[in-house]
Structure 1
Amino acid sequence: MPQSSSAYPVVFVSLMLAMVMRILPFPHELSVYNPDWVLLCLIYWNMAIPERVGVGTAWFAGLLADVLTGRLMGQHALIYSLTAYFCIRLHRRLRLYPLSQQAMTVLGLLLTGQVLMFWTQSVKAAANVDARYWLPSLFGAILWPFLFVLLRRVRRYFNIF
């Protein structure tokens, strides 16, 4: 088991992989289910090591996500930093929840992010959404237990505590 003196390379690689997953071209039928992978990874790292991955990391990841997705600069940065703030604030409590309850909390965080995204888009121009707009949040909550277990194994393998 390799010893890691710093968590930053592992967190950076996981966030970069999440960004790749975020912009990966899926068929149109599947693209409605593509959750915000970057936000899911940030939620995990904010819960696992909040003293190393904080609001600043979330803000920077959000700016990169804005550039990658072509959104208005600062939209993702605002959403990611607010989500990181709440995750860090509640991380001790969230860690104690079973995975099913964590998934419900993650669903709430993802839905809040989508509401903020809709709000910022509607300020820019009139925006309408249908029920499919909310599917990425639901799918992200469904995937949360699997992503949690995967990232926890990565964290333990690289001895990040």
Structure 2
Amino acid sequence: MVEGGAHGYWVVLASLFTAAVLAVIPLPAWLVWGRPEWIALVLVYWCIALPHRVGVVVAVFAGMAMDLLEGAVLGQNTFALAVLALLSVALYQRLRVFSLWQQSGIVFLLIGIHQLICQWVQNLEGVGARSLLFLLPALTSALLWPLVLHTLRGLRRHYRVA
């Protein structure tokens, strides 16, 4: 086992990097609308697991990176992820005691808020979606929450990230 502490922060950064890669991998056209919000999922997990180390500041940097990777308006993902992190840190004590499926429901709501903020900015640009399909990633993210939770929890325990 590897010692955690301040040195375990690389696990958080590596998971965010992996999520960023998953977020930009090309998908077939019929799957694009259902792509889970990987960065948001990983950020929610770390905000719940380590609210004293991962929060709004990490979300702002992750959001700026996603704005650059996706070619979005600078600040779109930054603002949406900052709000997501703020809500996650504010709710982390409640989320920890919920069952897995209750957590999935809350993750659906949190990522739905993230999607609504991004859609709002895109509507201001004039390129927003014309249907409610933009909320589909919130559903797929909620369905993948148990997998993300158990994977990241296993990594956190293995590397003793605290």
For the criterion TM > 0.5, the same-fold answer is yes
What is the CA-CA distance between 1:30 and the residue it aligns to?
Answer: 1.7
List runs of 5+ in structure 2 lacking aligned partners: none
Report which stretch shifted further, 64-73 or 121-130. 121-130
Q: Mean alpha-carbon deviation: is it higher for 39-48 or for 21-30?
A: 21-30
In structure 1, the residue corresponding to 2:5 is in which secondary structure?
Answer: coil
Q: Which residue of 1 aligns with 2:5?
A: 5
Report Cα offsets for 1:66-101 as digits up to 9, x if no partner: 000000000000010111011111101110001100
Return the alpha-carbon distance in structure 2 between the equivalents of residues 20 and 126 of structure 1.
24
Deviation at 1:52, TM superposition (A): 0.5
Structure 2 matches for 1:32-111, cutoff 5 A? 32-111=33-112
Tell me, yes or no, if the aligned pair for 2:64 and 2:75 is still in contact at 8 Å. yes
1:8–1:123 Cα change, 3 Å: same
Matched AA of 1:133: F
Distance 1:44 1:112 in 2: 16
- AA at the equivalent of 1:159: R
Q: Which residue of the partner structure matches residue 115 of structure 1?
A: 116
Q: CA RMSD in A?
A: 1.1
Q: What CA distance in whole angstroms lies between the structure 2 residues aligned with 1:50 and 1:28?
A: 37
Alpha-carbon distance between aligned partners in 2 of 1:121 and 1:30, rounded to the nearest angstrom = 20
- Which structure 1 segments of 5+ residues have no match? none
Decide which moves more: 121-130 or 18-27.
Answer: 121-130
Aligned residues: 161
In structure 2, what is the Cα distance between the partners aligned to 1:125 and 1:30? 23
2-side partners of 1:150 and 1:57: how far apart? 20
Kindly state the Cα deviation for residue 126 of structure 1 after the two structures are TM-superposed: 5.6
Calculate percent identity across the aligned residue pairs.
35
TM-score by length of 1: 0.96
Q: Which runs of 4+ in 1 moved over 4 A?
A: none
